[in-house]
Amino acid sequence: MQQIIKTTLGVCFAAGLAFSAHAGEAPMEISGATTVDAEGVITLIESTPDLVILDNRSVADYDAGHIEGAIRLIDTDITGAADLAAHVPAMDSPVLFYCNGLSCGRAANAAEMAVDYGYTNVSYYALGMTEWRDLGLPLVTN
């Protein structure tokens, strides 16, 4: 029994260290945006019919699996407000940004840009595909 507890604690400790290492790479919160977890994403999708979901990952990552209804727009392709306006019709339109999680940072960059451009209904899925996949939630592939 003690061995099981030690092993479990070791795994939790290692997971905590891994999370801490990633936590410094991208912020958990973006000023002016609402941070959501997987449950929050699902709630947004179910309750917000006009939600724009922007996947801020590479083509390969997007093709390998993305949240249903997501539009791929990598952060480096957002060079001005017009790039977001092409997908998000109004400054108060609900928009969700996600990427591969805290180790990625692309969604954080994109959400910060949206807020800076004046978007007021911005959601940021900080844990992104890392959490989504860990929870076994559905993905659409190309």
Candidates 22, 24, 44; CA nearest to 33 is: 44
The CATH architecture assigned to 27-134 reads: 3-Layer(aba) Sandwich (3.40)
> What single letter denotes the amino acid at residue 82?
A
Model pTM?
A: 0.82
Cβ proximity of 96 and 47 under 8 Å: no
Per-residue model confidence as pLDDT tens for the chain (142 residues): 333 323 222 333 333 333 333 345 899 999 999 999 999 999 999 999 999 999 999 999 999 999 999 999 999 999 999 999 999 999 999 999 999 999 999 999 999 999 999 999 999 999 999 999 999 999 999 8
Sole residue written with tokens 């400054």: 91
Candidates 54, 24, 42, 25; CA nearest to 121 is: 54
